[in-house]
Amino acid sequence: MSQSRHEERQQRLKDKVDARIEAAQIERGILLVFTGNGKGKTTAAFGTVCRTVGHGKKAAVVQFIKGSWDNGERELLEPHGVPFHVMATGFTWDTQNRETDTIACLETWYHAKQLLCDPKLDLVVLDELTYMVAYHYLSLDDVVNALKNRPESMSVIITGRACHKTLLELADTVTEMRPIKHAFDVGIKAQKGIDW
């Protein structure tokens, strides 16, 4: 491509981007959903926490599925003042008791609701919340109400597969992480620092 054609193309791109930036003037916290079956949902949520904290803003994390104790992002972010609340018992692939799972979920949600009222928080991550709604451990209405009544400046990220369509409708930004391929499928072990 010649330099002049390249310049024209870049100018058109720049004009488009500039027009979009000019048009976007509303300032408020947003609801982001990272869903789909691909890798990167929780990871993108933690990337955003990292961004928020790096700017000196306040974030909090609630994890609705118990991860490994040896959780890399927690080790890094907690000393930077990011509180983590992880469902202490309850839903993992190993537990199969609906009653105790529901109790653990509701206890965690109670904590999440308090965070969703705190005007000092710029970002709240509700990691793997989608499953709690899908499994009817948590009332959809209760989640919607808490999200709608949160402080205007607060952003929220919900992650997990099979997100309920009401939450997708409520969201400002939704990305579907589509798995094109996964190392795991060809026999590569999940790895510390990459997968957890």
Residues 128-187 within binding reach of a second copy (CB under 8 A): 155, 168, 171-184, 186-187
Selected binder of a second copy within 48, 83, 86, 161 (CB under 8 A): 48
To the query of whether residue 58 is one of the catalytic residues in this protein, the response is no
- Does residue 110 touch a second copy according to CB under 8 A? no
Residue 93 annotated to the active site? yes
Least Cβ distance, residue 110 to a second copy (angstroms): 23
Stretch that binds a second copy, among 47-55, 108-116, 126-134, 138-146 (CB under 8 A): 47-55
Contacts of the segment 14-17: beta carbons below 8 A, 24+ positions apart? none
Q: Is 53 within 8 Å of 59 (Cβ atoms)?
A: yes
Catalytic (active site) residue 42: yes
Alpha carbon separation from 5 to 14, 17, 54 (Å, rounded):
14, 19, 40
Q: Convert 117-142 to b/e letters by CB count within 10 Å (16 or more is b).
A: eeeebbbbbbbbbbbbbeeebbeeee
Residues 1-40, interacting with a second copy (CB under 8 A):
1, 3, 6-7, 10-11, 13-14, 17-18, 20-21, 23-28, 30, 32, 34, 36, 38-40
Active-site residue (options: 9, 14, 16, 51) = 51
What gap in Å lies between CA 161 and CA 30, rounded to an integer? 20
CB of 194 to a second copy, least distance (A): 6
Catalytic residue among 22, 27, 75, 93: 93
Of 34, 35, 42, 130, the catalytic one is 42
74, 128, 130, 159: the active-site residue: 128
Q: Measured over all CA atoms, what is the biggest interatomic distance in the chain, rounded to whole angstroms?
A: 68
- Residue that is written with structure tokens 């952003």 in the block: 155
Q: Which is nearer to a second copy, 111 or 175 (CB)?
A: 175
Nearest approach in angstroms of CB 128 to a second copy is 14
Residues with Cβ within 8 Å of residue 124, at least 6 apart in sequence = 59, 60, 61, 62, 112, 115, 116, 150, 154, 155, 156, 157
Report the catalytic residues.
37, 39, 41-43, 51, 91, 93, 128
